Amino acid sequence: MRAKTAVVLGAQWGDEGKGKIVDVLSQRFRAVARYAGGHNAGHTVVHGGQKFVLQLIPCGVLRKGCTGIIGNGVVLDPVAFLKEVGKLRALGVEVDGQLFVSNRAQVILPYHRMIELASEYAPGRQKIGTTGKGIGPAYEDKMARSGLRVVDLLRPDLLKTHIDEACAEKNAIAHALFGTDPLDPAQMYDEYAAAAEEMRPFVADTGRLLHGILADGGSVMFEGAQGTMLDIDHGTYPFVTSSSATAGGAATGTGVGPTAIGTVVSVTKAYVTRVGEGPFPTEIHGAVGDHLRARGNEYGAVTGRPRRCGWLDIPLLRYSNHVNGAEWLVITKMDVMDELEEIPICIGYELDGRVTDEIPADVQGLEKIKPRYTTLKGWRASTEGITEYEKLPLAAQEYLRFQERESGAKIGMVSTGPDREQTMILPEFAAALERIHG
Query: Which residues carry out catalysis?
Result: 15, 43
* CB contact at 8 A, 174 and 114: yes
* CB contact at 8 A, 50 and 91: yes
Q: What angle do CA 229, 129, 272 make, to 5 degrees?
A: 40
Length of the chain: 438
User: Which residues partner with 274 through β-bridges?
Assistant: 308
Q: Residue 320: what residue type?
A: S
* CB contact at 8 A, 203 and 177: no
Strands 423-425 and 410-415 turn out to be antiparallel
* CB contact at 8 A, 12 and 323: no
| Distance in angstroms (rounded) separating the CA atoms of residues 205 and 217 | 19
| Distance in angstroms (rounded) separating the CA atoms of residues 280 and 169 | 37
Q: Count Cβ atoms within 10 A of the Cβ of residue 431 and give its class: 0-12 exposed, 13-18 middle, 19 or more buried.
A: exposed
Q: Of 356, 378, 379, nearest to 281 (Cα)?
A: 356
b (16+ CB within 10 A) / e for 186-199: eebbebbbebbeeb
| Distance in angstroms (rounded) separating the CA atoms of residues 201 and 389 | 45
* CB contact at 8 A, 314 and 272: no
Q: What angle do CA 309, 52, 251 make, to 5 degrees?
A: 75
**Ramachandran area for residue 242 (φ above 0: left; ψ -120 to 50: alpha; else beta):** alpha
Residue 96, CA distances (Å) to 30, 100, 191 in order: 16, 9, 22
